[in-house]
Chain A
């Protein structure tokens, strides 16, 4: 695999939140590579920093968070259409978060679908906010029609007339399974159901045909049939425009279906990485194993309690020494796991793990 395949490379990323009680290390030394046209899945405990990683890639870590270390390289291809392809390497962490370049990339070249569509609704909608920016930052503005917001976003990233943009908008709404899209473009966000709002945001992200799509729990609000339809749509786009996908989800069923490669995160670090098949069939890290055991399986009906991982996520200000997972680990080795910090170890051709079980010490 040549480096020409690499689209985004995250190296030793650190994101910290400077709150008054101290510093929360939301992402703590994460490295991963997203390849053109491929799908990378990211799973892990809630609060382990998945969303922050995604936001860091777009240089939009919310305040008071900051990228405090590492780099994110975006291999941007310019040229084409007869001209030779040149790959420009852009370090996203170094860009001005309000600059022109990052705005072009956001939404235009790297699209995103964020968790909870209406949630990040601004408490204040200021007249100065550009619609397309609000929408690419994943907020639907409550008092504007959905269609207008879509159209302005499309126009900001593609050279089309207003009429064409509206047609694209309607077409996208149809593709994400919104009934009567010609009518629904004129609806206000609160008139849509939760899943419909989420689908509007998916339509926004896909309408600009991005090089990479960051999908942060895109389908949690959707029923399985529409979920399947949207996953199909993503794969279709992946083939036609060679789109890379970074897929973040809690739904192991979806990740099994979508991802080729999976990263498992815990407390801001990756603890295991492998191809999807290997990860599901031969999970190595005790956390991954516990994760796979804690899901209910359809068809196997039992009113028994689900296996859940013992204990709680540690307090970010009092991280346990050694391996951060050891207080909850079923294979805890006293005197070892609570002392030594495990390293990132390759245990197969395409399989890495961070666990002392696989380290000689």
Chain B
């Protein structure tokens, strides 16, 4: 985590110190009176061909982080090195900072990074037919013409389990799950290498969720895709992810191999999260750890560790000093003062 990754490593994306503050404006003159620290010093990396799960409280900045990386939002600070062959003249791999790429570079790079959005209907233009929606990235990047594009679309639709005749329909004619698959087909249109999946399966029913997860895994195997996979369903995250990062109020508090994280969580927030997972068993008595107090406010976070007001293990130091994000065990990173001493319960 210390050395800058070189193009020879199998690191595809290396994000360091990423910050995104949204100004809070008040009054007639739109004076900035403060900032929502939606993403506040986030550091993580994604290896080639792996899936990094990203979980955390709703509103903790997962979407913002994803969007800042592909520059839908202008970053406040940080770097995001992305390994690509597109920008070097001889086609050799090179680490390019996405956050500093200029307009033209960015357009090229966007062929390699796609996004699947959280809200399946809102992310489809209601005025465009399904074929226009899926064809859009192809058209933007001048890939193929008329019948070729059509063929690609038919292919994509079949891959995501829709029918070719759905092409002429409009998004509002589909159910939630079908809409999301249209979004997935669009994301895959340019054969990207990194797909940021922002809750791609939240709106899907379990059998299509299973199909979609299988599909995403097949595509990963076929094209060596990498995913950043944001989801709330921890069982799904565990199923698809190689590694999982846990976010709390704009910061990553823990990151580890999926199995390790679920069995041996090192951060109290992860523990609380794990305890709240609903089990598909009506007789199961939940032993949920109830977090006290208010959810932290990203515009005015508490001093020290952001989680301390709700943490049942909090001690003095927690409210004074920001814990360092450190590698406690091999490949297991955590930001908690008491990580060494606590014995936390996994699932």
Contact = CB atoms under 8 A, between A and B. Distances in A.
B278 interface: yes
B7 interface: no
A83 interface: no
B235 interface: yes
Interface string A307-322: 1110010010000000
Interface string A284-321: 00000011101111110111011111001001000000
Contacts of A227: 232, 276, 278
A176 B267 CA distance: 24
Nearest to A295: B206
A301 B278 contact: no
* Count class of interface residues, chain B: 35 or more
Contacts, number: 200
Contacts of B203: 46, 115-116, 217, 220, 250
Given A221-B199, A226-B57, A298 B295 contact: no
A47 B178 contact: yes
A225 interface: yes
B291 interface: yes
B282 interface: yes
Given A47-B175, A179-B297, A253-B279, A294 B207 contact: yes
Contacts of B118: 194, 221
Contacts of A303: 217
Interface in B318-343: none
Interface string B29-52: 000000000000000000000000
A309 B211 CA distance: 8
A98 interface: no
A120 B176 CA distance: 12
A37 interface: no
Given A195-B58, A196-B58, A221-B202, A251 B291 contact: no
A200 to B, nearest CB: 12
A196 B64 CA distance: 14
A263 interface: no
A227 B278 CA distance: 9
Contact of A305 (B176, B204, B214): B214
Nearest to B258: A301
Contacts of B76: none
B183 interface: no
B278 A179 contact: no
B119 A119 contact: yes
Nearest to A44: B205
The secondary-structure label for the interface of chain B is loop
B211 to A, nearest CB: 5
Contact of A193 (B63, B175, B205, B233): B63
Interface stretch (B12-20, B104-112, B120-128, B135-143): B120-128
A46 B179 CA distance: 10
B101 interface: no
A277 B213 CA distance: 28
Contacts of A251: 233, 278
Contacts of B217: 303, 305
A159 interface: no
Given A47-B174, A298-B274, 19 more contacts: A45-B207, A46-B176, A116-B122, A120-B121, A196-B59, A223-B55, A224-B234, A224-B273, A225-B57, A227-B278, A256-B280, A277-B283, A294-B206, A297-B235, A298-B234, A301-B238, A301-B239, A305-B214, A315-B163
28 contacts: A46-B175, A47-B175, A47-B177, A51-B175, A116-B119, A116-B120, A116-B203, A118-B122, A123-B126, A178-B295, A179-B294, A180-B294, A183-B299, A194-B119, A195-B232, A222-B58, A224-B234, A227-B278, A250-B206, A251-B278, A257-B278, A290-B207, A291-B206, A292-B280, A294-B210, A295-B235, A305-B214, A308-B207
Which 5 pairs of residues, A with B, have the shortest CB-CB distance?
A195-B58, A46-B177, A253-B278, A47-B175, A296-B239
Interface of A: 19, 43-47, 51, 115-116, 118-121, 123, 174, 177-180, 183, 191-196, 198-199, 217, 220-228, 250-257, 259, 276-277, 280, 290-292, 294-299, 301-303, 305-309, 312, 315
